[in-house]
């Protein structure tokens, strides 16, 4: 193994170790891109340099063995000990460090393409989307629903479906774009979104809701009032707890375009700026969302969440959701 390969392995171990220990926040998209490029270089080197060199060495060994046998035959020695086939097989064998670089390139490339342009897995880390999504749900995010974006830089190069009210969206947290958040789209560009006295209104019209009784949260071991809410064509469930009035903290707010929002003792009202979206969690009184840290710009969109593919604590959770 060359010093360069050893240095690359060392850098990967340090990066993953620091990420695991919480010394820094890792960027999986960037890591996967770098691994794809590096393994591609090793794959090309293996195909056009290392493998031909091993084949040439094996051919030279065979030629040397054939010449030796011919020389011994001229001397009258017909029986020659030794078989070069085992040595030839060892020469042609790919070294372990190429197995773990060039050999992994096709697998890493497929994962990179699937994750960058088609579907990305995501784990629900908090209870802000209860009752729609529970802590521990493993979901799939459709990366091409809103358009095709270049990996790592997240620049859109092709439009697809427009963002709709009621979509469950994964996006890069505006305060720290290294983190992915998941919330529901409540306000589109130009909308006037108001959440006052725990009632959501869009452009002056209260959003249609109806009571569904109570919801039992197994994590907090408590019941909360459960409602059905309809945003656009999407009907979904939300939790609203009259005993937990939201507190939005001191003013003034410092997030970008905070002047578009007005806070009072009753709640908050915001005008969504162009190219941005207003996001809220379905667990309305237990969600840090656009009411607190502001609007989500279009360039932060990751994709539309649509399917729970696993929950190890409750297999009945598997399936699509609104």
Q: For residues 236 and 282, is the Cβ–Cβ distance under 8 A?
A: yes
Give just the sign of the alpha carbon dihedral 40, 44, 47, 49: negative
Q: What is the CA radius of gyration of the chain?
A: 29
Rounded distance, CA 128 to CA 131, Å? 9
Structure tokens at 36: 């794809």
How many Cβ atoms are within 10 Å of 113's Cβ, its own excluded? 12
Please give the C-alpha separations between residue 232 and each of 163, 203, 276, 297, in angstroms, as whole numbers.
Answer: 11, 13, 18, 21
> Which single residue is written with the structure tokens 């891109």?
33
DSSP element (H, E) containing 303: strand 301-310
Rounded distance, CA 199 to CA 265, Å? 14
Which residues, in sequence order, are bridge partners of residue 209?
229
Q: For residues 294 and 256, is the Cβ–Cβ distance under 8 A?
A: yes
For the chain, the distance separating the N- and C-terminal CA atoms, rounded to the nearest angstrom, is 51
Q: Is 95 helix (H, G, I), strand (E, B) or coil?
A: coil
Give just the sign of the alpha carbon dihedral 163, 166, 167, 172: positive
**Residue numbers annotated as active site:** 128, 183
Q: Is 229 helix (H, G, I), strand (E, B) or coil?
A: strand
């Amino acid at each position: 193994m060359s010093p360069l390969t050893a240095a690359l392995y060392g850098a990967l171990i340090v990066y993953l170790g620091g990420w695991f220990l919480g010394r820094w926040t890792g960027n999986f998209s960037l890591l996967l891109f770098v691994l794809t490029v590096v393994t591609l270089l090793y794959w090309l080197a293996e195909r056009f340099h290392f493998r031909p060199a091993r084949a040439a060495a094996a051919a030279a060994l065979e030629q040397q063995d054939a010449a030796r046998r011919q020389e011994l035959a001229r001397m009258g020695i017909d029986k020659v000990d030794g078989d070069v086939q085992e040595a030839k097989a060892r020469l042609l064998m790919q070294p372990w460090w190429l197995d773990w670089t060039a050999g992994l390139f096709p697998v890493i490339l497929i994962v990179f393409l699937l994750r960058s342009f088609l579907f990305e897995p995501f784990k629900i880390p908090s209870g802000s989307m209860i009752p729609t999504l529970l802590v521990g749900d493993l979901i799939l995010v459709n990366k091409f629903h809103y358009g095709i974006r270049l990996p790592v830089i997240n620049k859109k190069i092709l439009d697809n479906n427009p963002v709709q009210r009621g979509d469950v969206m994964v996006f890069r947290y505006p305060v720290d774009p290294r983190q992915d958040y998941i919330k529901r789209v409540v306000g589109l560009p130009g909308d006037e979104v108001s959440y006052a006295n725990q009632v959501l209104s869009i452009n002056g019209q209260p959003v249609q809701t109806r009571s569904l009784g109570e919801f039992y949260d197994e994590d907090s071991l408590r019941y909360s009032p459960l409602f059905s809410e309809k945003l656009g064509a999407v009907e979904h469930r939300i939790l609203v707890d009259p005993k937990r009035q939201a507190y939005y903290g001191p003013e003034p707010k410092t997030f970008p375009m905070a002047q578009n929002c007005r806070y009072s003792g009753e709640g908050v009202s915001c005008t969504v700026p162009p190219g941005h979206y207003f996001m809220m969690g379905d667990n309305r009184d237990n969600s840090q969302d656009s009411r607190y840290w502001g609007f989500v710009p279009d360039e932060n969109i990751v994709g539309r969440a649509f399917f729970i593919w696993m929950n190890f604590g409750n297999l009945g959770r598997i399936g699509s959701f609104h």
